[in-house]
Amino acid sequence: MIKVMTLFGTRPEAIKMAPLVKALEADPEIQSVVCVTAQHRQMLDQVLDLFDIKPKHDLNIMKAGQTISEITSRVILGVESVLKEEKPDIVLVHGDTSTTFAGAIAAFYQMIPVGHVEAGLRSGNPYSPYPEEMNRRLTSQLSALHFAATEGNVENLKKEGINVQSIVKTGNTVIDALMTVIREDYTFENPLLNTIDYENRKVILMTAHRRENLGEPMENIFGAVRKIVEDHEEVEVVFPIHMNPAVRAIADKHLSGHDRIHVIEPLEYESFANLQNRCALIMTDSGGIQEEAPALGKPVVVLRTETERPEAVEAGTVVVAGVEFEAIYRITSQLIRDEATYKSMSEAVNPYGDGKACGQIVDAIKNWRNSK
Ligand code: UD1
Ligand code: UDP
């Protein structure tokens, strides 16, 4: 038996690790143990409930308004105790959060190999996304196995001197997750979402949470969104707002009191994914949404200065708008008004795999173990 400990803590990690946990649990050669840091509490629990995942270890570290250093130190200490008890053969971490990096270094300190799921994404700017770009680079250095979603991700790892034998191209597990929840006849739990006329209105789905956008960039983003709604009568905005109080304060200032701007609580994944499938376009600073939306053929206006997901830009469904009021207003307005621009960006393409990433990761772990 190979003892595999899966470690995650935030909403996007949970969504992308959920199908992998299921695949590990289903394999008779693997003993699967799940440890969550609960860097996110409620937003993590939404995903655990949906996929019926019951962690053996829950570090429950979240505090309101936590700093990166607080998360990192709490995760390193908590994971150390769990690793000493469980002694897994390998620890799997995902992506780029502080849970990812801190979990990887905690495993390294115990001399336990790390497998990095969604390895090799790079923006090239250590401060954008912040701290995720650096978390990714450091996690690569700490990992023994690298599961890369695309050829570009593989190349990024090779450029940094990562041994090519330790890299496996698998596609992104987000597609595995997405395929389990999209349904054309889906009925939302939130009644508001069932009353919106998706055929005849231009429904914009928005999310925003990035640390580097807190402050002036987010003021610009929300200001531009308000003006877009005011200037286009056919537009309706749905904004499932992140639980970060800093995001909520800025949103209150710019987005409250308009009958075509719906600021709602975070949606559980199934609802959110199906809302992506129904809306006209998406405005976001999220990473994962840039991978899901192309598969659903939904144009995405990225509210950041750069992206570590160039495949989605090359595929034509994603445009990086930056964080200035004018550019966000102009690019989004053109998508709303100009049929040709909209059509050119709404072809469904999927640079992120065939929904079979999890099976390939499980096989790679078994091959790695057998070759030792
Ligand atoms: C974190 C990750 C980011 C990832 C994002 C996904 C870091 C440093 N950041 O950012 O990479 O893109 O998650 O959403 O790892 N909160 C709650 N309940 C929750 C979740 C958050 O109340 O379920 C509030 C808390 O006050 C918390 C704050 O939001 O302190 C911020 O959460 P945190 O995990 O520190 O940062 P995110 O911006 O969510
Ligand atoms: N998501 C969700 N509910 C929401 C908003 C987003 O389930 O209300 C999902 C979304 O489909 C994607 C993931 O959460 O899979 C993205 O998470 P987030 O934007 O918080 O983090 P990032 O991907 O930027 O790290």
Q: From the alpha carbon of 269, which atom of ligand 2 is closest?
A: 7
Q: Whose CA is nearest to atom 36 of ligand 1?
A: 244
Cβ atoms of residues 157 and 249 within 8 Å: no
pLDDT above 90: residue 372 = no
Q: What residues are labeled active site? A: 96, 118, 132, 209, 211, 242
Q: pLDDT tens-digit profile of 89-109?
A: 999 999 999 999 999 999 999
pLDDT confidence tier of residue 46, bands split at 50, 70 and 90: very high
Give the tens place of pLDDT for each residue, 74-91.
999 999 999 999 999 999
The model's pLDDT over 325-346, given as tens digits with 9 standing for 90+, comes to 999 999 999 999 999 999 999 9
Q: What's the 11 CA to ligand 2 centre distance in angstroms? A: 6
Instruction: Please give all residues whose beta carbon lies within 6 A of any atom in ligand 1, as ranges.
Output: 10-12, 39-43, 62, 64-66, 68, 71, 96-98, 131-132, 209, 211, 243-245
The Cβ-side half-sphere exposure at 341, using a 13 Å CA radius, reads 14
Q: Residues 263, 289: contact at Cβ < 8 Å? A: no
Please state, in angstroms and rounded to a whole number, the distance separating the CA atoms of residues 96 and 291. 15
Confidence of residue 172 (pLDDT cuts 50, 70, 90): very high
Find out whether the beta carbon of 11 lies less than 6 Å from any atom of ligand 2: yes
pLDDT in tens, 214-253: 999 999 999 999 999 999 999 999 999 999 999 999 999 9
Average pLDDT, the chain: 97
pLDDT band at 349 (very low <50, low <70, confident <90, very high): confident
pTM for this entry: 0.97
Amino acid at the residue 82: V
Ligand 1 pocket: which of 97, 265, 292, 307 to mutate (most atoms within 8 A of CB): 97
253 CA distance to ligand 1 middle (Å):
21
